[in-house]
A and B are shown apart, each in its own frame.
Chain A
Amino acid sequence: MNSNRPIKLLHLYPRDMNIYGDHGNILTLQRRLEWYGYTPVVLTYDPGDSFPDNVDIIVGGGGQDSGQSKVQDDLHTIVHHLQTLADSNVPMLMVCGLYQLFGKFFKTSDDEIIKGIGLLDIETYAKPERLIGNIIVRTKEFGDVIGYENHSGQTFIGEGATAFGSVIKGAGNNMADSSEGARYNNVIGTYLHGSILPKNPRLADFLITTAVTNRYGSFEPSGTPDDHLIEPAREIALKRPR
């Protein structure tokens, strides 16, 4: 076994899908891995790149419409990599735009269908209202997850996926039910940014421990992060207006 215990983090489309502090999610995983005594190796994948081997965690973010149109075709060229990794329980976190594109399709306001990769059994429809504001989502596995949402697509979950959580405050997937996000194996899609991982360490640590266990058989940290700032940051965030 490699003594410095590398873990490969892949940032998906950082050039075009990076708009809501998505860098914060990568940075959180990177630092926490270091604090736990592992060696994060951050890789990036942009359209046209060759897809790296032995990836341990994949993180993707949101983009503008223009960014989305730049990556949507490319995404179909790497779908077999992503599907294989998802089927073998590699943890992934897809926020906002890439959450939508990991689904079956996105139907625009002109009734145009943008085909997603269908890794998550979800469908998204463009709607006139934009769902914006602070959001709190209750999840079984990660407690209350705090973030910020900003999307006009409304997402509906099919049989093949489960919701990430249920909305306590905010809108979430859509205006019809209280679901937020979607999950298949260890692939989590969500509308929450803010960035989501810094203030939700249970979720960050789930991605980390899953990845480390996949790679090394068990999670054996040699240190722990100093998390004393997180609780007060969460307490304040919980009280802020929508």
Chain B
Amino acid sequence: MPYPFVVIAGKLVRHAARLRGGGSALPGLFAEKVDPGFVSRTLQQLPHGVVVVTGTNGKTTTTKMVVELLESQGLRVFTNRSGSNFVRGVAASLLGAVKLNGKLPADIAVLELDEAHGVHFVKRVAPRYCLVLNVMRDQLDRFGEIDKTAQLLRTIADATTDSVILNREDDRVANIASTLDGRLVRYFGLAPELRQQFPTDDELHGQRAEQTPNKLAADVILESFEGDRAKFRIGEQTFETTLELHGIYNIFNAAAALTLVRTILPDASPKPLLEKLSTITPAFGRGEQFMYKGQPIEFVLVKNPSGFRLSLASFPASGNSVMIAINDRYADGRDMSWLWDVDFEGLRNSGVNLVTGIRAYDMALRLQYDLVPVERIEPDRAKALKQFLASHPDTPKRIFCSYTAMRELRREMAHYVKVGAIE
């Protein structure tokens, strides 16, 4: 079928699917079936090419930062969330965005890719830039083991044509540089004093983080942070800024986003980038805040041991009511082992007000073995949220939730406050 017809017909299918209230799968499938080259051809016409953001933790918020930083520099950005079938999802989004002549009104595409979908995607579309954030133990039931996950990330980086941005503090990620001949490799990093706050999975038991400075030169270094203030070293200069992003991992990933944007736009000066950065809010469900009866309610997505540990460390327990919601659907990971690799002792004094989710009792049992008191267990998410909101009206609230529990609770939250559309 000639190109414009794919676009027109695809748009019609998309429109029809929308009228039925359906998702993106059908129009995406249509475009892919009728014209398998649709996605790669449409993306490859972009003047600044395709950027992929990958790694275990923080992809969504980092992608959001990169998109908003690029937009603040005047670029038109096409972006897409990682979905169940990535290529198809991108195809569907592209159908929505392209003009009838097949042109995408954008200068650059910034795509969040998970390891598994990423390796397939880069076979179709070679990225010009690639950012690898970290590789942590996550979804072992899906990918087998961390070294294999690192191998997938290497494949994605290796398909990149121009520049690859790597986390120099994560050995598995930094090692990817060894096979990237001919590509520009740049690093983001941490000041040595912060290094111990970001233990890798290898340092989880027994091994200590090194205090010696990392030998690789980094373009952007997170120097220090306290509360909502952070100091970044960019090139030879140090800049201090406030941030709307919560959690140390988000702040570290801001260094990653800055490095990537500075690689794409070498002439962008740091000051306006940092001014923009200071206004960026976390992606949906990732430290997202709602106000309910005068108290903030924060959703914190936890997906794996390192992410959960960092989240607990980022958000002090005292003075807050805490709920933990753990499901074990496919997207959460069916294996509950990971809960036993998170240290919950920090919650011992303040306790946990409510535990919910399909695996609420597994979670409660885990807390019992860390001697953390639990006020109530209510596996039903809707009932739990209602009780949680009602039980401690005068304290800020925090909900640590696995992926599908977050989606469910966020939907329930819409009964109480205005909640943005779920993407």
Count of chain B residues with a beta carbon within 8 Å of a chain A beta carbon:
34
A198, CB-defined interface residue at 8 Å: yes
| Contact indicator A150/B361 (Cβ below 8 Å) | no
| Contact indicator B337/A233 (Cβ below 8 Å) | no
Bound-complex Cα distance A31 to B141 (A): 28
| Contact indicator A193/B337 (Cβ below 8 Å) | yes
| Contact indicator B337/A44 (Cβ below 8 Å) | no
Contact flags A201-242 to B (C-beta < 8 A → 1, else 0): 000000000000000000000000010011011001100110
Contact flags A125-156 to B (C-beta < 8 A → 1, else 0): 00000101110000000000000101010000
Answer whether A21 and B339 are a contact pair too, CB < 8 Å, given A130-B144, A132-B141. Answer: yes
A113, CB-defined interface residue at 8 Å: no
Contact residues in A for B338 (Cβ distance below 8 Å): 21
Bound-complex Cα distance A65 to B140 (A): 13
| Contact indicator B147/A65 (Cβ below 8 Å) | yes
| Contact indicator B206/A230 (Cβ below 8 Å) | no
Bound-complex Cα distance A24 to B340 (A): 5
Q: Which residue of A lies closest to B374 (CB)?
A: A229
| Contact indicator A24/B337 (Cβ below 8 Å) | yes
Contact flags A28-48 to B (C-beta < 8 A → 1, else 0): 100100000000000010100
| Contact indicator A150/B335 (Cβ below 8 Å) | yes
Bound-complex Cα distance A28 to B202 (A): 22
Among B204, B341, B359, B370, residue most surrounded by chain A Cβ atoms (within 10 Å): B341
Contact residues in A for B379 (Cβ distance below 8 Å): 236
| Contact indicator A198/B340 (Cβ below 8 Å) | yes
Count of chain A residues with a beta carbon within 8 Å of a chain B beta carbon:
38
| Residue from B141, B144, B340, B358 within 8 A of A21 (CB atoms) | B340
Bound-complex Cα distance A65 to B202 (A): 14
B20, CB-defined interface residue at 8 Å: no
| Contact indicator B362/A233 (Cβ below 8 Å) | yes
B215, CB-defined interface residue at 8 Å: no
Among A20, A22, A195, A229, residue most surrounded by chain B Cβ atoms (within 10 Å): A229
| Contact indicator A198/B205 (Cβ below 8 Å) | no
Contact flags B14-32 to A (C-beta < 8 A → 1, else 0): 0000000000000000000
| Contact indicator A195/B147 (Cβ below 8 Å) | no
Bound-complex Cα distance A159 to B362 (A): 37
Answer whether A236 and B359 are a contact pair too, CB < 8 Å, given A14-B205, A148-B336. Answer: yes
B334, CB-defined interface residue at 8 Å: yes
Number of A-B contacts (CB under 8 A): 98
Contact residues in B for A229 (Cβ distance below 8 Å): 361, 364-365, 368, 377
| Contact indicator A21/B337 (Cβ below 8 Å) | yes
Question: Within the complex, what minimum Cβ distance (angstroms) separates B333 from chain A?
Answer: 10
Contact residues in A for B202 (Cβ distance below 8 Å): 15
**A145-200 residues at the B interface, CB under 8 angstroms:** 148, 150, 152, 193-195, 198-199
Among A31, A66, A232, residue most surrounded by chain B Cβ atoms (within 10 Å): A232
| Contact indicator B365/A20 (Cβ below 8 Å) | no
Bound-complex Cα distance A44 to B219 (A): 40
Question: Within the complex, what minimum Cβ distance (angstroms) separates A225 from chain B?
Answer: 9
Contact residues in A for B269 (Cβ distance below 8 Å): none
| Residue from B146, B206, B366 within 8 A of A46 (CB atoms) | B206
Contact residues in B for A226 (Cβ distance below 8 Å): 368
B59, CB-defined interface residue at 8 Å: no
Question: Within the complex, what minimum Cβ distance (angstroms) separates B419 from chain A?
Answer: 28
| Contact indicator A232/B361 (Cβ below 8 Å) | yes
Among A15, A46, A64, A241, residue most surrounded by chain B Cβ atoms (within 10 Å): A64
B239, CB-defined interface residue at 8 Å: no
Q: Which residue of B lies closest to A25 (CB)?
A: B340
Q: Which residue of B lies closest to A134 (CB)?
A: B334
Question: Within the complex, what minimum Cβ distance (angstroms) separates A5 from chain B?
Answer: 20
Contact flags A43-55 to B (C-beta < 8 A → 1, else 0): 0101000000000
A23, CB-defined interface residue at 8 Å: yes
Bound-complex Cα distance A241 to B330 (A): 10
Contact residues in A for B205 (Cβ distance below 8 Å): 14-15, 18, 23
Q: Which residue of B lies closest to A226 (CB)?
A: B368
| Contact indicator A194/B146 (Cβ below 8 Å) | no
Bound-complex Cα distance A241 to B358 (A): 12
| Residue from B206, B328, B359, B369 within 8 A of A15 (CB atoms) | B206
Bound-complex Cα distance A50 to B134 (A): 34
Bound-complex Cα distance A127 to B147 (A): 18
B137, CB-defined interface residue at 8 Å: yes
B375, CB-defined interface residue at 8 Å: no
Answer whether A20 and B140 are a contact pair too, CB < 8 Å, given A198-B369, A236-B361. Answer: yes
Question: Within the complex, what minimum Cβ distance (angstroms) separates B141 from chain A?
Answer: 5
B35, CB-defined interface residue at 8 Å: no
Contact residues in A for B140 (Cβ distance below 8 Å): 19-20, 150
Bound-complex Cα distance A184 to B365 (A): 30
| Contact indicator B362/A199 (Cβ below 8 Å) | yes
Contact residues in A for B334 (Cβ distance below 8 Å): 133-134, 148, 240-241
| Contact indicator A133/B141 (Cβ below 8 Å) | yes
Contact residues in B for A237 (Cβ distance below 8 Å): 336, 362
Contact residues in A for B328 (Cβ distance below 8 Å): 240
Q: Which residue of A lies closest to B333 (CB)?
A: A148
Bound-complex Cα distance A126 to B379 (A): 39
Bound-complex Cα distance A64 to B144 (A): 9
Question: Within the complex, what minimum Cβ distance (angstroms) separates A19 from chain B?
Answer: 7
| Contact indicator A14/B137 (Cβ below 8 Å) | no
Contact residues in B for A240 (Cβ distance below 8 Å): 328, 334, 358
Bound-complex Cα distance A152 to B334 (A): 18
Question: Within the complex, what minimum Cβ distance (angstroms) separates A229 from chain B?
Answer: 5
Mind listing 28 A-B residue pairs with CB under 8 Å? A15-B205, A20-B337, A21-B336, A21-B338, A21-B340, A21-B341, A24-B340, A24-B341, A27-B369, A27-B370, A44-B206, A64-B145, A65-B145, A130-B144, A150-B141, A193-B337, A198-B340, A198-B365, A198-B366, A198-B369, A199-B362, A226-B368, A229-B364, A233-B361, A237-B336, A240-B328, A240-B334, A241-B334
